Amino acid sequence: MAKRKTKFVCQECGYESAKWMGKCPGCNNWNTLVEEIEATNSRNSHFKGITKAGSKPERISGIESVEEPRIATSLRELNRVLGGGIVPGSLVLVGGDPGIGKSTLLLQVSAQLAEKEMPVLYISGEESTRQTKLRADRLGINADMLYVLSETNLFDITAQIEELRPAFVVIDSIQTIYKEEVSSAPGSVSQVRECTGELMRIAKTNHIPIFIVGHVTKEGAIAGPRLLEHMVDAVLYFEGERHHTYRILRGVKNRFGSTNEMGIFEMKEEGLREVMNPSEIFLEERSEGAAGSTVVASMEGTRPVLVEIQALISPSSFGNPRRMATGVDHNRISLLMAVLEKRVGLMLQNQDAYIKVAGGVKLDEPAIDLGVAVSIASSFRDKPTKPEDIFIGEVGLTGEIRRISRIEQRVQEAAKLGFKRVICPKNNLDGWTLPKNIEVIGVQSVQEALAISMEQ
């Protein structure tokens, strides 16, 4: 009898070793290597069947260009993030914290497609069919073409897909699905890799879009190997605070569209409701006349979003002042405070700084630098800015205000919401027609922007 070969696989990064080690050389995590039996017939099994056997290379000039038709859902925010709708034959991974609304969103999408007379198969490995029915009743879902299956065996799932031939499939979640040929437990690196590979083969060969739900680790990354994100066509993250009603669907990978798009939903008792104008939501509770509050215009894909940035600067009681940021990069805050101290003369080295983006949004583009810098200076001087002002611009290390992209869309969004004045880089004033219902002021330095914003 042949001796079974074993290997040790890291459950965080997928690193394989012939012997056990306490610390993984791949990701430097401790006690993550688990012994698994190496399958003799699993070599390249997750790539088998994706391409036709005996296919030959073709000249790219001779390949016919065909526009891939998309399946549009009733949720326009989801269509925006996906790049215009669901692409047939695509494999999409949806990740997010527990209880954030992943299953609710996919169940709503399944019901909407089923109401269009499209057979939809919702496979739940974590809930029974009765539990899924209870959630459907709460959401008001009762579509005849929506089929529910409670199964974790990949062979049985594949058989049901081949028999039903659905137009849309949901797997909730990939960590609960197992393949009998793989000896490791469900959720392990080998199981996730093999099951995802099999689902990818089904999606490509049958032209069926498949959405799979992925759990996340305590650091916020999708559990399992990074190979999981490389294999799928699109990766969507569902973000937001569990104690807030607003949820943000953000695309971090998309082979069929932009990765900068963002969709905003509001969690209601009857399910998720899309927010069509998020700027009004983020600014509705803004207090006018408060020092340290500014409004910035950030581009999320093709959509401008106006968000309030709040800063609180207070004298420090300790030797090392605190720097805390929510929604913006902590290192970016330290850089902007250093620019204000060196170029403007604000003594911030003995001040605690607390920066927050209202509404739970995460901003990472450089165009918000000017708004953050003005809010810090406003709180430090205890002088409020004008409530009808909006700030756009990137701040350089020498204190200059640098050019940013898509200035027209940002200014138009500000004018639509009733703002009277936009303070932006001076180099952005050329090459486009300035609107008449809002004043646009170009500045070249942080000092100039602070002088204009805090004039009484």
Residue 336 near residue 376 (C-beta atoms within 8 A)? yes
Beta strand 246-254 pairing with 303-315: unpaired
10 Å CB burial of residue 2 (0-12, 13-18, 19+) is exposed
Residue 281 marked in a binding site:
no
Distance CA 86, CA 75 (A): 11
Residue 316, annotated as binding a ligand: no
Chain mean position to CA 29: 25
Q: Per the structure block, which two tokens stand in for 15?
A: 């690193």
197 a known binding residue?
Answer: no
Question: Which one-letter amino acid corresponds to residue 181?
Answer: E
Residue 251 annotated in ligand binding: no
How far apart are the C-alpha atoms of 151 and 153, rounded to whole Å? Answer: 6
Report the distance separating Cα 193 and Cα 187, nearest Å. Answer: 9
φ, ψ for residue 28, nearest 5 deg: 65, 25
Q: For residue 393, count CB atoms less than 10 angstroms from its CB and return exposed for 0-12, middle for 13-18, buried for 19 or more.
A: buried
Q: Smallest Cα–Cα separation from 277: which of 119, 76, 130?
A: 76
Distance, C-alpha 187 to centroid of its chain: 23
101 labelled ligand-binding: yes
262-267 long-range Cβ contacts below 8 angstroms, 24+ apart: 262/81, 262/300, 262/301, 262/303, 262/305, 263/75, 263/77, 263/78, 263/80, 263/81, 264/77, 265/75, 265/77, 265/101, 265/105, 267/101, 267/104
Round to whole Å and give the CA distance between 415 and 408: 11
Nearest C-alpha neighbor of 74 from the set 137, 27, 37, 118: 118
* CA–CA gap between residue 132 and residue 107 (Å, rounded): 9
d(CA 447, CA 374): 10
Q: How far, CA to CA in Å, does 432 sit from each of 96, 370, 409, 442?
A: 40, 22, 11, 14
* Closest by CA position to 227, among listed 10, 451, 455: 10
Instruction: Tell me which DSSP letter residue 39 carries.
Output: P
- Scan for tokens 């080295």, then name that residue: 349
Residue 418 annotated in ligand binding: no
Rounded Cα distance, 288 and 290, in Å: 6
Residue 96 among known ligand-binding residues: yes
Amino acid at 152: T
- Token pair of 247, please? 């949820």
> Does 98 count as an annotated binding residue?
yes
Annotated binding site: 96-103
Binding-site residue set for ATP:
96-103
